[in-house]
Structures are given as C-alpha cells and as structure tokens.
Amino acid sequence: MSNALLFAWTGAALCGLGLFGFIVHKHLMRRLLAFNIMGSGCFLMLVGLAQDGRGPDPIPQALVLTGIVVAVASTALALVIFRRWFRLSGKVRLPEDA
Amino acid sequence: MNPRTVCAAVMCGMLVGLLGLAITMRPEAVITLPERVAAELSRSGVSHPVTAVLLNFRSLDTLLEIGVLLLAVVVAYALRETQADPADRMGLDNRLLHAVIAWLFPLMLLVAGYLLWAGATRPGGAFQAGALLAAAGVLLRLAGIRPSDFAHTLGARAVLVFGLAVFLAVGLGAMAVGGHFLEYPPAWASPFIFGVELALMLSIGFALFSLFELAPPHPVSNKGARERSET
C-alpha cells in the first residue's frame, strides 16, 4: 500500500461522510459544509490516485486547482443565496424540510 | 435511532466501500500524462508543468472557471439588498489592527506580485495571487476601511470582467493568426500567458473580495437577532 492510495481512500471516506451529512442535516449551512467535505474528498481522490506510482501528475493538480476555485465560487454564491433566503423568510431550512 | 439516519448511513457506507474497491482494483493507466506534459513543456512558454497545463494545454478549463466566478459575482450583485448599505458595522475600530494592516497590506501586495511572477517557474500563479489580493481586501474591509462606493461603479464591473475579456481576446487573437481557439503560437506563449495571468489575478482578487463585500452583516433589527434577544 502506498501513501498515494491512502490519500485516495481517505478521499473516498470523506465523500461518503459528506454525502451522509448532506442527507441527514436539514440546516442549510450544515448542508453547505457537507457539500464542501464531499468536494474535498473528490479532490483528494483525484490527486492521490493520479500520483500513485508515477510521481506528481500536473494535469490532475491543475484540474483540482480549477475545481477549488469553482468550489469557492459556488460556496460563496450559496452563502449569498442563503442569507437572502434567511432575510426574506427568517428560516434556515427549505420549506419541504421544515 | 431514526430509520432515515440508519438508511443514509448504510448507503453512504456502501458508497465508500464501492469507491474503495474501485480505487483498489483500478486498471493500469494507458497513457502516462506526466511524460506527455514533460515532452510538450518546452513549447508551452513556461517551465512549471501545472502552470503550463492551466494556461496553455487546458486553458479552456481556466477560461470557463473565470466565467463561473464571474457568474457567481453577477448573481451576488443581483441578490444584494436593494436598500443602501447600512452604516458600517463590519469594521473593527481597533488601533492595533490598523497599525498591523499598515505593515501587512503592502507586504501582501508584494507577495501577490511575486506569486504571479513565480508561477512561470515554480508553484504559484494567478489564483494564488488573486486569493492573496482578495485576502488583503477583506483585511482592509474588516478594519473598517472601505473603498468609498467603488463596488457600484462602472470601474468595478470593468475590473470584474477584465480577466475574462483579456483571456477571450488572447484566445481569439490566436485564431486570427491562424491557430485554433486558445492555441498560442509557441514564440508568443510566454508573454501571452503572463498577460492573461495578470488580468486573471486582478479579476479573481476583486471577484472574491466582491463576494465578501456584497454580503454585509444584517442590521440588528432582523428576525434572528430578535429571537436571540428573546432567549
């Protein structure tokens, strides 16, 4: 077992953990955090798998760098929308989850 | 225990198992990408492989990424409160903070410039530099120093689209001289990449800062604060 595979397995575990949090929690902020944990798991899997036995691979690293910026943008967008929703309705959950 | 939670836990456990199995029993790679990148690196205009992939070999990804960032900022602008921003409650009126920022802010700008320049030969580049610029802006904002009403001027919007515009112009320019979209001529790749990265750094920095700035703290009279004061 190599270190790179350990990273990939950890990434898979984070993916499952994030998905679990996403299903179980109803608070929108918790869901956003769970979504980010899932994304981090994917990044870890991508980078970990790619460098298994072949050394660092620039292409997955570049993909993950792009992915991180997109994740930051989507997180910020989600926060702006949540704040607007909270301001308008005073609720921290979606109506179907209430 | 809630059956819904148990069901979710079992399914997520199965997902982790499947992913772990897929990782363990994956097929051998048919092509070795690092070798192909290394073979083409001398034609890319930069000597750091990640920068070469980001801004030359797979620059379409980066172009779309700055598009996504711009889209997020546009939505944030659209959803911002329609009334004028309330009196500034974000700023901490702390003299120590102001003194520290007076030291740190020029250094942060300097490091951002260095990261941008270093991107050609070692880890660094437009995103790291842009993130640092945004952090410098957020630090200023937290200290209560706000750039008047710059966020609502045409200039702010010009800075936001500058990166995407330069990127598109360079890509279309490459088409005009006979290549494909975003296929730089090798002789020109180095200045093209640096120009695009400079524009990207400014746009990314300002876009990330805008996402922070466009969500000011709520006035005290909102519902959450009322609930808190009642309890």
Burial class (CB in 10 A: 0-12, 13-18, 19+), B83: exposed
**Best A2, A5, A65 residue to mutate vs chain B (most B CBs within 10 Å):** A65
In a domain, B225, yes or no: no
In a domain, B222, yes or no: no
* Domains contained in chain A, number: 1
CA distance B151 to chain A (A): 16
CA distance A10 to chain B (A): 9
Contact A69 B224 (CB under 8 A): no
ipTM for this prediction? 0.85
Q: Which domain holds residue A19?
A: 3-97
Contact B222 A87 (CB under 8 A): yes
Q: Which domain holds residue B29?
A: 3-216
In a domain, B191, yes or no: yes
* Domains contained in chain B, number: 1
Contacts of B71 in chain A (CB under 8 A): 73
Contact A73 B211 (CB under 8 A): yes
Residue A2 near residue A32 (C-beta atoms within 8 A): no
In a domain, B226, yes or no: no
Q: Give CA–CA dist B121/B16, Å, rounded.
A: 38
- φ/ψ of A17, rounded to 5, equals -60, -45
- pTM score: 0.84
In a domain, B229, yes or no: no
Tell me, what CATH number does A87's domain have? 1.10.287.3510
Per-residue pLDDT tens digits of chain B, which is 231 residues long = 788 899 999 999 999 999 999 988 888 777 777 888 888 888 888 888 888 888 888 888 999 999 999 999 999 888 876 555 555 556 677 788 888 888 999 999 999 999 999 988 888 888 999 999 999 998 888 887 776 667 678 888 999 999 999 999 988 988 888 778 888 888 888 888 889 999 999 999 999 998 888 776 665 444 444 444 443
